[in-house]
């Protein structure tokens, strides 16, 4: 179809998703329309360039409908590594709609000499692990998912999140902030609040990694919540690799010209 642009849906909510939208428009904007989707979890999200839609789709079936109605050609799932439901819905909906889908998943943090990690499978295990690690805890989990820690009334929690925490309120202090965070600031935060232990997800990525470096520098234990199971392929680990996946699925310039009208046909 002349003038038709390939329609890319980016499932977002991460810094990589914004960077990907920017780079995809800069590099392929003449052939590619970018629609970014946000869950609507934060009140003041960073808006990527291009079209933006906000709110859930209504499960895998809703996403499948959206793909058909919006004529989406490619899905790039750049949600957070712990957005397990969206990840699974993207796999199912894209397969059913026959739309190629790729997962952008940043690499995990690697354990380094000096790290004191206690790896656990979920929030309940994380709360249980805290019993012997000291009573002043930095919960680097965002404002949700705090219920498991409410059962530890003897602990004091430093909670940092983009938006104020939802109930239940736990004993401690809330700090509103948006990353990325610098190592010196993370170290100061841990020292100022006399933190004994850090709880976080195995999110990976440089922007969120400074707290791990600060904990290592101070010899503090980190309760590290393991990631949900890996998604099916294709999976790429960087924005650059995601751009290559997109590029390989765009029509070449010659194909676009071949689709364009060539003027009146010869009468013969
Ligand atoms: P989730 O548990 O996998 O998803 C829950 C539901 O939220 C999904 O079923 C979907 O609703 C909706 N949803 C999630 N991501 C969406 C998107 N990009 N566009 C439209 N709807 C979306 O995800 P979550 O852990 O709640 O995370 C929500 C959002 O916050 C994600 O976009 C994620 O990238 C971002 N985020 C999450 C974390 C984290 O630690 N989990 C950290 C930073 C950012 P429907 O079923 O109705 O479609």
Domain boundaries, the chain: 6-107+228-259, 116-225
Q: Is the CB of 85 under 6 A from ligand 1?
A: yes
209: closest CA among 222, 219, 197, 196? 222
The reply to whether 116-225 shares the fold of 6-107+228-259 is yes
Ligand 1 atom with least separation from CA of 17: 34
Instruction: Write the DSSP symbol of residue 17.
Output: H
* Centroid of ligand 1 to alpha carbon of 83 (angstroms): 5
Ligand 1 atom with least separation from CA of 63: 48
User: What's the length of the chain?
Assistant: 268
Q: Is the CB of 13 under 6 A from ligand 1?
A: yes
Instruction: Report which of residues 251 and 116 the model is more confident about.
Output: 116
* Centroid of ligand 1 to alpha carbon of 84 (angstroms): 8
**Pairing state between β 6-11 and 74-77:** parallel
Task: State pLDDT tens for residues 91-137.
Answer: 999 999 999 999 999 999 999 999 999 999 999 999 999 988 989 99
Mean pLDDT of 36-62: 94
pTM of the model: 0.91
pLDDT at res. 255 = 57
Ligand 1 atom with least separation from CA of 78: 34
Is it the case that residue 2 has pLDDT exceeding 80? Answer: no
Q: Which fold has domain 116-225?
A: Rossmann fold (3.40.50)
Q: Is the CB of 36 under 6 A from ligand 1?
A: no
Minimal-distance CA residue to ligand 1 atom 13: 39
Q: Is the CB of 54 under 6 A from ligand 1?
A: no
Asked if residue 198 lies in contact with residue 138, where contact means CB atoms within 8 angstroms, the answer is: yes
* Centroid of ligand 1 to alpha carbon of 4 (angstroms): 30
Biggest CA-to-CA distance, the chain: 91
Mean pLDDT of 63-81: 98
Ligand 1 mutation target, pool 16, 21, 41, 53, most atoms within 8 A of CB: 41
Instruction: Report which of residues 207 and 139 the model is more confident about.
Output: 139
Ligand 1 mutation target, pool 63, 66, 86, most atoms within 8 A of CB: 86
Instruction: Report which of residues 87 and 1 the model is more confident about.
Output: 87
* Centroid of ligand 1 to alpha carbon of 227 (angstroms): 15
pLDDT at res. 201 = 96
Ligand 1 mutation target, pool 13, 37, 94, 141, most atoms within 8 A of CB: 13
Q: Is the CB of 80 under 6 A from ligand 1?
A: yes
Instruction: Report which of residues 59 and 180 the model is more confident about.
Output: 59
Q: What is the DSSP string of 204-265?
A: -SSTTTHHHHHHHHHT-EEEEEPPPPPPPSPEESSHHHHHHHHHTTSPPHHHHHHHS--SSP
**DSSP-derived 3-state class of residue 77:** strand
Q: Is the CB of 143 under 6 A from ligand 1?
A: no
pLDDT at res. 168 = 67
The domain 6-107+228-259: what is its CATH number? 3.40.50
Is it the case that residue 260 has pLDDT exceeding 60? Answer: no
Mean pLDDT, all residues of the chain: 91
């Amino acid at each position: 179809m002349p003038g038709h642009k390939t329609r890319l849906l980016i499932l977002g909510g991460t810094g990589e998703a914004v960077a990907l939208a920017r780079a995809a428009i800069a590099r392929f904007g003449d052939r590619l329309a970018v629609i970014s989707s946000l869950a609507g979890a934060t009140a003041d999200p960073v808006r990527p360039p291009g079209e933006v839609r906000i709110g859930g789709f209504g499960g895998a079936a809703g996403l499948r409908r959206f793909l058909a109605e919006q004529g989406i050609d490619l899905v790039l799932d750049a949600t957070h590594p712990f957005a397990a439901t969206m990840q699974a819905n993207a796999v199912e909906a894209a397969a059913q709609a026959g739309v190629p889908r790729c997962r952008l998943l940043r690499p995990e943090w690697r354990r380094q000499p000096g790290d004191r990690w206690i790896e656990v499978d979920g929030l309940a295990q994380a709360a249980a692990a805290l019993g012997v690690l000291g009573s002043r805890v930095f919960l680097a989990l965002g404002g949700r998912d705090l219920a498991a820690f409410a059962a530890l009334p003897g602990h004091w929690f430093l909670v940092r999140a983009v938006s104020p925490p939802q109930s239940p309120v736990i004993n401690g202090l809330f700090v509103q902030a948006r990353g990325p965070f610098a190592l010196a600031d993370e170290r100061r935060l841990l020292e100022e609040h006399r933190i004994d232990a850090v709880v976080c997800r195995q999110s990976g990525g440089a922007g969120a990694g400074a707290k791990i470096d600060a904990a290592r520098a101070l010899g503090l234990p980190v309760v590290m919540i393991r990631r949900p199971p890996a998604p099916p392929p294709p999976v790429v680990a960087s924005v650059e690799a995601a751009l290559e996946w997109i590029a390989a699925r765009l029509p070449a310039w010659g194909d676009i010209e071949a689709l364009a009208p060539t003027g009146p046909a010869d009468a013969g």
